[in-house]
């Protein structure tokens, strides 16, 4: 999914400071896909081998690899290779930045409107 990340938008884990709206949109778009959300939930318990994810989610490896790539490009996942297997894990920093962005939005959305006039 080439449209999820542009050269101007670094992965969420590379940036420091508050999440900008453009970055938040990329993360939320990546999370909006039901399969990618299942991957995120599966990794919520810790690092997993791609072979475990393939069987748990009942996906072909090529389809799972596509979704893992999208999540990795947005900075939501990291991976490591051990022998012939690749292990994936959530990037807590990216999730925390998204949580903080949503919390700031929740806080600011309760402000009353300025009087018209």
Residue-wise DSSP of 8-23: TS--TTT--SSPPHHH
The candidate with the shortest Cα–Cα distance to 90, out of 26, 20, 39, is: 39
For each of the domains in the chain, give its residue range(s) and CATH number, in order of start.
19-99 (1.10.10.10)
Query: Of all residues in the chain, what percent carry a pLDDT higher than 70?
Result: 86
More confident residue, 32 or 16: 32
pLDDT of 110 reads 86
Please answer whether residues 64 and 57 qualify as being in contact, where contact means their C-beta atoms are separated by less than 8 angstroms: yes
Average pLDDT (91-103) is 94
pLDDT of 4 reads 42
pLDDT of 109 reads 83
Task: Give the tokens for residue 4.
Answer: 């999820």
Cβ neighbours of residue 51 under 8 Å, at least 6 residues apart? 85
Give the tens place of pLDDT for each residue, 45-91: 999 999 999 999 999 999 999 999 999 999 999 999 999 999 999 99
**Reported confidence tier of residue 2, pLDDT bands at 50, 70, 90:** very low
Average pLDDT, the chain: 87
pLDDT of 9 reads 41
């Amino acid at each position: 999914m080439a449209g999820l990340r542009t050269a101007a938008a670094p992965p969420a884990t590379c940036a420091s400071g508050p999440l900008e709206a453009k970055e938040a949109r990329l993360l939320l778009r990546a999370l909006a896909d039901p399969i990618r959300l299942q991957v995120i939930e599966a990794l919520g318990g810790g690092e997993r081998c791609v072979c475990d994810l393939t069987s748990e989610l009942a996906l072909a490896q090529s389809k799972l690899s596509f979704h893992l790539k999208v999540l990795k490009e947005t900075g939501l996942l990291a991976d490591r290779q051990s022998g012939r297997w690749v292990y994936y894990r959530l990037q807590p920093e990216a999730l925390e930045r998204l949580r903080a962005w949503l919390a700031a939005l929740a806080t600011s959305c309760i402000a009353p409107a300025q009087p018209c006039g």
